[in-house]
Chains A and B, each alone.
Chain A
Amino acid sequence: MLSFLDREKSVAPPGYSRWFIPPAALAVHLSIGQVYAFSVFKTPLVDRFDTTLTAIGVVFSISIVMLGLSAAFGGKWVERNGPRKAMFVSGVCWGTGFLVGALGVATGQLWLLYLGYGVIGGIGLGIGYISPVSTLIKWFPDRPGMATGMAIMGFGGGALIASPLSAAMLDNFAATPADAIVPAFLTLGAVYFVAMMLGSMTVKVPPPGWKPEGWEPKPTVTGGDLTTEGVTVERAFRTPQFWLLWIVLFCNVTAGIGILEQAAPMIQDFFANVGPAEAAGYVGVLSLCNMLGRFVWSSTSDALGRKRTYIGYLGIGCLLYLLIAVAGTGSIVLFVAVTGLILSFYGGGFATIPAYLKDLFGSFNVGAIHGRLLTAWSCAGIAGPLIVNVVADYQLSAGYSGADLYTLSLYLMVGVMAVGFIANMLVRPLSKGQIDQDEVAEPASSHQSA
């Protein structure tokens, strides 16, 4: 019945321009990127359910945990079934999540919000996040950093769109924001569902053997071609290279969260003349840097090389954290510029990692391998805020105030960056012995059965 979603039905005809593919990926990532604007709903939800911030915060946590789990376990399914089916499933889950969540809000049942936005929506997040990556890399094997940067920039951009839109809906859909949540959720769910269905219907995979005109892939150490073959997920999972990149992503994300988690209070503690409105403006600057870094640095990595790019993210990032720790209160311009650069590296780290995986493990299972690697994001999402908040509480109880509240966590982040830097330096291309030809995967199109 749904055979139009099959991979074979989504093969592009000869001469189809690859530039028709990125908007499909962007439509999905801009939609699921809403999750980072969930905080707009937090206070109205607290009022609506007459509960605590912690109880509502659990909704976001569940969605991010489900993102990690579904990306990790759904990656192989995505590779086998193709981007069209994956984006379709993602859109159905993401839209349904809002629907079920709205039902929970309307009936006062918090567990339905956990189930809807958290579990079902979270599955949509994970499948949606990885669904276009593999396809974009296959269409742009000559510029994988730029291609994945475009899509993953969409995830950052999604929050920039959803935040003011959600605030406007909460202000205008009902007399109070608490009463406006249900129509806002229904509106967002419908809009995102349509956008993701459009993306699903327009995405296409390149024909077998397709490559950009004038481009030749680099041969592997075995003389093979990782762009037409590809290491299996199981094989990649057992290599030191995979785990070194896991550490790299974990450290880069943890360090970025070190700023993100405490951006607004931190700038107000560093500079006495900065009030809540300016602090909100600062958070806006960081959001823009995060989004732009995803596209700019990831695209730059095509010329610079992935390893050198991460030397920048982690090495320069380490020095920048040290600069804030030592001289952060000296100048607000310097503070904003330095933290903005760190956040651009945070975004760049997310966007560049699929291309790094493609360089090491080949194109054909990069989506599934990427899904497994995103468990680093889930772990950093727990570790980062934990480090920041535990240290802040400790510093408060020790009688510190102002900028001194953050010194210890800033130095800890210097250490985290240094660990990631070392892990990146240890990454080497796969050796002949690591690419066992028996385990080299065939192109996904040959996996399709009737």
Chain B
Amino acid sequence: MEHNSANTAAKAAALFLWVVVIIALGYGVSRTALQAAALFTG
């Protein structure tokens, strides 16, 4: 039972990390893309 709850916690943490990572990457890529747009609109 204890083993199962530890695994559940690990999976939940991993899923949380996926969300954080995707949001962080999305932030970085979108901010850089906005900066990159200056090359074509500037």
Contact = CB atoms under 8 A, between A and B. Distances in A.
B10 A20 contact: yes
A399 interface: no
Given A24-B17, A201-B13, A281 B40 contact: yes
Given A16-B7, A20-B10, A199-B17, A161 B37 contact: no
Given A27-B20, A164-B31, A288-B32, A198 B42 contact: no
A158 B27 CA distance: 11
Nearest to B10: A202
Given A160-B32, A161-B25, A278 B13 contact: no
Contact of A27 (B15, B21, B29, B33): B21
A20 to B, nearest CB: 4
B36 A288 contact: yes
Nearest to A30: B24
* Chain A interface extent, by class: 35 or more
B17 to A, nearest CB: 4
Interface string A197-209: 0110110100000
Contacts of B31: 160, 163-164
* Chain B interface extent, by class: 20 to 34
A287 interface: yes
Given A27-B21, A202-B13, A13 B3 contact: yes
B19 to A, nearest CB: 9
A288 B27 contact: no
Contacts of A160: 25, 28-29, 31-32
Contacts of A281: 35-40, 42
Contacts of A336: 39
B24 A288 contact: no
A285 interface: yes
Contact of B38 (A21, A24, A164, A278): A278
Contacts of B17: 23-24, 26-27, 198-199, 202
Contacts of A16: 7
Contacts of B40: 281
A284 B10 contact: no
Interface string A219-249: 0000000000000000000000000000000
Interface in A7-54: 13, 16, 20-21, 23-24, 26-27, 30
Contacts of A27: 17, 20-21
A279 B32 CA distance: 13
Nearest to A195: B20
Contacts of B33: 284, 288
B10 A204 contact: yes
Contacts of A275: 42
Contacts of B13: 198, 201-202
A164 B42 contact: no
B21 A164 contact: no
Contact of B11 (A20, A164, A279, A284): A20
Nearest to B16: A198
Interface in A185-204: 195, 198-199, 201-202, 204
7 contacts: A13-B7, A158-B28, A198-B13, A198-B16, A202-B13, A277-B42, A278-B38
Interface of A: 13, 16, 20-21, 23-24, 26-27, 30, 154, 157-165, 195, 198-199, 201-202, 204, 274-275, 277-285, 287-288, 291, 336
Smallest CB-CB A-B distances: 8 pairs: A160-B28, A281-B39, A281-B38, A284-B36, A23-B17, A161-B28, A20-B14, A284-B35
